[in-house]
């Protein structure tokens, strides 16, 4: 038996050892199997490590053809059944979708009716409150534009204006048969007459002896002549009290 020595790189040799170990072979057995596979592939005219093509018998070919035809028939039947099933599913889906739409429509109508039924009292109450708020708003705006006290004030002004425009009667007093004068003129005349009388009396008191007018007036005003003298003295000297007068006593004659 001949022996062939071949040099391998360390890396390739390590891979060969790993493959041999994985297959449970030694390195020489693995190399021998590779060489035998190369020879068989060359003899059979195929690539290495490719299994040879086995010849097909006529009976086997007929059987395979029948099986393929049967598979084709079964596949066609399955496809037709699937198509019919898909059609039924589409019809059922459409019917279900229509039923869902109808149910949603009825549910919406029912919810709308219940909402309207439940919201009607609240809506009526809200409308009532809105009317009250509107009335209060009108009252507030009316009060802001023309308050009640302004209305009363305007009414009083109207009364005063009407009274001012109405001709008024003037009270006149008859002093003499041919002499009449209004009340205000009479008052002015009376005040003027009193002032003139006071001036005349004062002048007469200065011009006439004291016993005639001055002394009687002093007694009438102050109660006594001494009190009148005291008041005159305080007015002249700016004092608040009169001095105490020491009575004069006559000395006895020797």
pLDDT string in tens for the chain (254-residue length) = 677 777 878 888 888 888 888 888 888 888 888 888 888 888 877 777 776 666 667 777 778 888 888 898 889 989 999 888 888 888 777 777 777 778 788 888 888 888 777 777 777 777 878 888 888 877 777 766 666 666 677 777 788 888 777 766 655 555 555 555 666 676 777 888 888 888 877 777 667 776 666 677 777 777 676 777 787 777 777 777 777 654 544 445 54
Residue 180, C-beta contacts closer than 8 angstroms, at least 6 positions apart: 172, 173, 174
CA distance 115 to 58: 82
Cβ(231)–Cβ(222) below 8 Å? yes
pLDDT attached to residue 4: 73
Q: Could you tell me the CA-to-CA distances from 185 to 13, 188, 189 in Å, in that order?
A: 158, 5, 6
In a 13 Å sphere around the CA of 90, the CA atoms on its Cβ side amount to 6
pLDDT attached to residue 23: 82
Considering the domain boundaries, does residue 105 fall inside one? no
Cβ(27)–Cβ(33) below 8 Å? no
pLDDT attached to residue 249: 46
Cβ(12)–Cβ(18) below 8 Å? no
Q: Are strands 179-182 and 172-176 parallel, antiparallel or unpaired?
A: antiparallel
Q: What is the CA radius of gyration of the chain?
A: 75
pLDDT attached to residue 154: 74
pLDDT attached to residue 51: 66
Considering the domain boundaries, does residue 216 fall inside one? yes
Considering the domain boundaries, does residue 191 fall inside one? yes
Cβ(172)–Cβ(183) below 8 Å? yes
Considering the domain boundaries, does residue 218 fall inside one? yes
Considering the domain boundaries, does residue 69 fall inside one? no
What is the separation, in whole angstroms, between the first and last Cα of the chain? 215
pLDDT attached to residue 147: 60
Please name the helix (run of DSSP H) or strand (run of DSSP E) that holds residue 175, with its range, or none.
Answer: strand 172-176
**Domain containing 214: what range?**
180-237
118's tokens: 């439940």
DSSP state for residue 181 in the 8-state scheme: E
Please name the helix (run of DSSP H) or strand (run of DSSP E) that holds residue 176, with its range, or none.
Answer: strand 172-176
pLDDT attached to residue 211: 64
Considering the domain boundaries, does residue 26 fall inside one? yes
pLDDT attached to residue 67: 87
Count of domains for the chain: 2
Considering the domain boundaries, does residue 21 fall inside one? yes
CA distance 28 to 179: 177
Please name the helix (run of DSSP H) or strand (run of DSSP E) that holds residue 90, with its range, or none.
Answer: helix 58-145
pLDDT attached to residue 114: 80
Considering the domain boundaries, does residue 160 fall inside one? no
């Amino acid at each position: 038996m001949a022996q062939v020595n071949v040099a391998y790189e360390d890396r390739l040799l390590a891979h060969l050892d790993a493959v041999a170990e994985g297959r449970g072979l030694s390195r020489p057995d693995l190399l021998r199997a590779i060489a035998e596979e190369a020879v068989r592939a060359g003899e059979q005219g195929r690539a290495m490590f490719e299994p040879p093509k086995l010849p097909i018998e006529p009976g086997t070919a007929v059987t395979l053809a029948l099986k393929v035809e049967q598979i084709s028939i079964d596949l066609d039947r399955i496809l037709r059944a699937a198509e019919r099933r898909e059609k039924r599913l589409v019809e059922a889906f459409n019917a279900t979708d229509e039923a869902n739409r109808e149910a949603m429509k009825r549910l919406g109508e029912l919810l709308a009716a219940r909402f309207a039924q439940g919201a009607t009292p609240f809506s009526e109450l809200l409308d009532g409150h809105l009317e009250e708020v509107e009335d209060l708003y009108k009252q507030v705006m009316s009060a802001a534009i023309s308050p009640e006290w302004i209305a009363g004030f305007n009414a009083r002004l109207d009364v005063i204006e009407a009274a001012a425009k109405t001709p008024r009667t003037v009270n006149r007093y008859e002093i003499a048969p041919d002499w009449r004068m209004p009340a205000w003129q009479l008052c002015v005349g009376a005040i003027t007459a009193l002032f003139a009388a006071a001036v005349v009396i004062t002048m007469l008191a200065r011009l006439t002896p004291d016993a005639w007018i001055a002394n009687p007036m002093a007694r009438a005003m102050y109660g006594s002549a001494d009190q009148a003298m005291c008041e005159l003295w305080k007015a002249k000297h700016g004092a608040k009290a009169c001095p105490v007068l020491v009575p004069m006593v006559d000395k006895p004659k020797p």
